[in-house]
Each structure stands twice: as structure tokens, then as C-alpha cells.
Chains A and B, each alone.
Chain A
Amino acid sequence: AQSVTQLDSQVPVFEEAPVELRCNYSSSVSVYLFWYVQYPNQGLQLLLKYLSGSTLVESINGFEAEFNKSQTSFHLRKPSVHISDTAEYFCAVNNAGGTSYGKLTFGQGTILTVHP
């Protein structure tokens, strides 16, 4: 079985400040890792993903996440946030093999609120 824990349910931050949204996972097999973003009243959009290769992955809007296998973490960071980054962020894990292949398990979500 696999599980995902997002350590903060809400993260308030001021505009242009750095932010880190924390995600830890557990799995008995190799994993693929994802961050999805849900803007108010919208569906989920893929923000970035780690499948293999470089452990640091980046999105087009300035977010990055680093896969840390020893700490089973995939924290999301941005050095300077904008008001438009206000949204709920979901970390998710997908087993790279085994019976859970192809199914995403989600964390509980972190609501990021950026204040002016």
C-alpha cells in the first residue's frame, strides 16, 4: 500500500516571500511523484512530476520540487510567490510497478494563501 502525507493543511504567506509545501510518502516499491494545483472553482491541473532522472523538477511558473528518496519526501518550493499562486496544492504518488500501478494516491491538500 502507498500513502501520502502533506504536513500543512494551510500555509499563509505574503506576496514575494518564499514558500515550501511539504509532502512525505510511503511505498514498498519505486514511485512516480506529482504535484497538482487546484485554483478556486476549477479542476486539478498538473504542476510538475518526477518519473526518473534528475531529482529536481521544475514547473513553467517557477515552482520546483526535489525527490528525496532517503527521506521519502517531495517538497514543493517557490522562491517568490504571487497573489495568483493562491490555490490548493495536492501531492500524489503513483507506484512504478506492482498491483497499484497506474493509480494515484493523493495527500490531503495544502491551501496556499498569498496575501498582498
Chain B
Amino acid sequence: DADVTQTPRNRITKTGKRIMLECSQTKGHDRMYWYRQDPGLGLRLIYYSFDVKDINKGEISDGYSVSRQAQAKFSLSLESAIPNQTALYFCATSSASSGNTIYFGEGSWLTVV
């Protein structure tokens, strides 16, 4: 089983709909992240959380919200999806003991039509 699990792996949704991407990890890490990947732009940070009570905006947080339900769970929500949010989304984790290495889930493809 993967250490960082994302659900759903693929989703097509309509403009204006609310969509949630969920992430859970079994690595015991305290830090969790959401990134989005777009061709030619690499990965960009949406939100990050260094512990359950800590939530921070990344460079492209507009249109997104997150919830850290537990140390092992970090969900990303699009309250009203729009087509330019079509992308590949990655959840990731790290900890000080991981040598600052960030470990990624397998990604969630989201298409907004």
C-alpha cells in the first residue's frame, strides 16, 4: 500500500460544483502539502500545514480551501470549480526527521468541464 494515498485518483466535474480531494498518510509525518501540476509550470504549492493546528497559504491558494482533520489527513476543496483548475493535484508529506525530503502521493487528475 502507498504511504501517501489520494482519493479520488480521477474526477470529472462541472463548472460551479464543489469538489473535495482527500489525502491520508501512514508515514507519521507532521507536515502535509497540496501541490498542483500544470504542463510547463512544474508544481506549485497551494496550501501547507506543519501540524494539525497550522494551515498556511501557498503561492496559488485562491479558489481553494483545506482542512487538516488529523495528523494523517489533509483534504483540499474547490468550493466552486472552474475550468482553469483542471490539473494534476499532488498531496505530499514531510517531517524534520525525513531530512526535509518531501514524499508525494500518486496524484489526482481533476477535469472541470
Chain A residues with CB under 8 Å of chain B are 4, 6, 9, 32, 34, 36, 42-46, 49, 51, 90, 94, 102-109
Contacts and interface: CB of A to CB of B under 8 A. Distances in A.
Interface of B: 31, 33, 35, 40-45, 48, 50, 58, 90, 94, 99-107
A90 B100 contact: no
Given A9-B40, A104-B102, 4 more contacts: A34-B102, A90-B43, A108-B42, A109-B40
Contacts, number: 53
A4 B41 CA distance: 11
26 contacts: A4-B42, A6-B42, A9-B40, A34-B101, A34-B102, A42-B107, A43-B105, A43-B106, A44-B43, A44-B104, A51-B99, A90-B42, A90-B43, A94-B102, A102-B31, A102-B50, A102-B94, A103-B33, A103-B48, A104-B33, A104-B43, A104-B45, A106-B42, A107-B42, A108-B40, A108-B42
Nearest to B91: A43
